[in-house]
Structures are given as structure tokens and as C-alpha cells.
Amino acid sequence: MGLGIDIRHRIAKRAAAEIKNGMIVNLGIGIPSLIPNYVPSAVHVMFHAENGILGLGSSPPLGEEDENVCNAAGYPTTTVQGASYCDSATAFAMIRKGYVDMTILGALEVSEKGDLANWIVPGKRVPGMGGAMELAQKAKKVIVLMNHTSKTGEPKLVKTCSLPLTASSCVGLVITDRAVFKVEKDALLLTELMSPYTVEDILSSTEATVRLSDQLITIP
């Protein structure tokens, strides 16, 4: 099943806490696009989009959308002071040169080694991989936001990805609708639980090897 809007916003709010002042951050399609709504005004961040904007802002109020200003998914957005526009080739050059401090992406699967599969399901038609492969390899930190399980209830945090990889050993942090994990060597470190889920719930719905943090906390 898909995630309800409240859960999607809770994940986005938690992800926003990872953003530090002065960063250049690329946001993927879906839940990551909600993140600008939760970044404190005191944190100066330049959100990057592959379609050629550096300086994305929060979502515009209903009725105040500008059809010429959108994020990489094509949804209306705003820009912040100091924002700039460029062509897509320049936007990708920023990624490949290593100027992006963090990218926050969706995923189909993440392995316990931090391998990422998020661009295709064999046999299904997709519009393309976008900038996922460049971002996963060149961003200084990769964060994944996703459902903890598939639509059929199968784990998406796995020992080894069964789907074609976007990049290997690239993910540093995973935030799902149930928990937060840091990717360590050959295991996922469970650091936070999303209420009302328990440790037992996480272990039973995760195929990857999971270790528990000594400072495990619960997010209301």
C-alpha cells in the first residue's frame, strides 16, 4: 500500500533534520519534494534540481503557482533569495563535479551494504533513471526515504538487492515509515523507531541484518 499523506510528511520532516546550514541538497521525486516545507528559516540551504534550478523553495500556496517554476518532478515550487537557473546539462555538471553535499532519494530496495536500486523494475515501462545514478555516486551523502515494505508486504531493506542497481555501497541513511537506520559495514543500525512500531515489528519486516543502537529513540 502507498503511504498516507500524514506519514509522508512525517518522513519528510525527519529527513529535513539532516540538512545543515550552507548545504547544496538535491531532492528526488515523491516524499523528498516535501522537505523544503520543513527546513527551519534559520537554515540556509540551496536545493538543487536536475531540470535547472539551484535554490528551490517550499510549495506555493494554492492558486499562486507559477507554471514556469517547477521541481524535477514537474510540480510547482518557489525559489529562495539568491536562486539561479541553468540548463539541464549544467545542472548535471554540478552533480558530476561533486558540488552536491547531499541527495535525498526514493528507493525500491536498499541492501544491508548500502546498495541502492531505485530506477527500474524489469518488464515495466519507466520514463527513465533521471539523475539517480550520478547523484548516488557523486553526492557526498545519500539518504533514502521509502516505504518499509512493498505493496505486497515484502521487505524492501534486504540482504542483497534483487533489482538492477542504481549504485553500490552508496546509501548512508535510510528513513522509512517505520524506522531510521544508519548504514554500517554489512548491517543496518536501527537508531530511531517511528511510533507506534516496536523493535519486534522492525525485525520481522526487515530482511537485512539489523543491529540496535545503544541510544535507540522513538519518534512520536
What pLDDT is stored for residue 1 in this prediction?
45
Per-residue pLDDT tens digits of the chain, which is 220 residues long: 457 889 999 999 999 999 999 999 999 888 998 999 999 989 999 999 999 999 999 889 999 999 889 988 788 999 999 999 999 999 999 999 999 999 999 999 999 999 999 988 877 766 666 789 999 999 999 999 999 999 999 999 999 999 999 999 999 999 999 999 999 988 999 999 999 999 999 999 999 999 999 999 999 8
Q: How far apart are CA 78 and CA 193, in angstroms?
A: 32
Q: Show the DSSP H helices in the chain as ranges.
A: 5-16, 88-96, 132-138, 199-204
pTM value is 0.93
Residue with cell 548545504: 23
Distances (CA, A) of 185 to 70, 113, 144, 161: 38, 6, 17, 16
What pLDDT is stored for residue 128 in this prediction?
65
Q: How far apart are CA 196 and CA 116, in angstroms?
A: 27
Q: How far apart are CA 126 and CA 120, in angstroms?
A: 7
3-state secondary structure of 153: coil
DSSP state of 10: H
What pLDDT is stored for residue 9 in this prediction?
94
Q: How far apart are CA 96 and CA 90, in angstroms?
A: 10
| Inter-residue contact 103 to 26 (CB < 8 Å) | yes
Residues with active-site annotation: 50
Task: State the burial class of residue 192 (Cβ atoms within 10 Å of its Cβ: 0-12, 13-18, 19+).
Answer: middle
Q: How far apart are CA 72 and CA 34, in angstroms?
A: 13
What pLDDT is stored for residue 3 in this prediction?
72
What residues contact 43, with CB distance under 8 A and at least 6 apart?
A: 19, 20, 21
C-alpha cell at 145: 526515504
Distance of CA 130 to the CA centre of its chain: 14
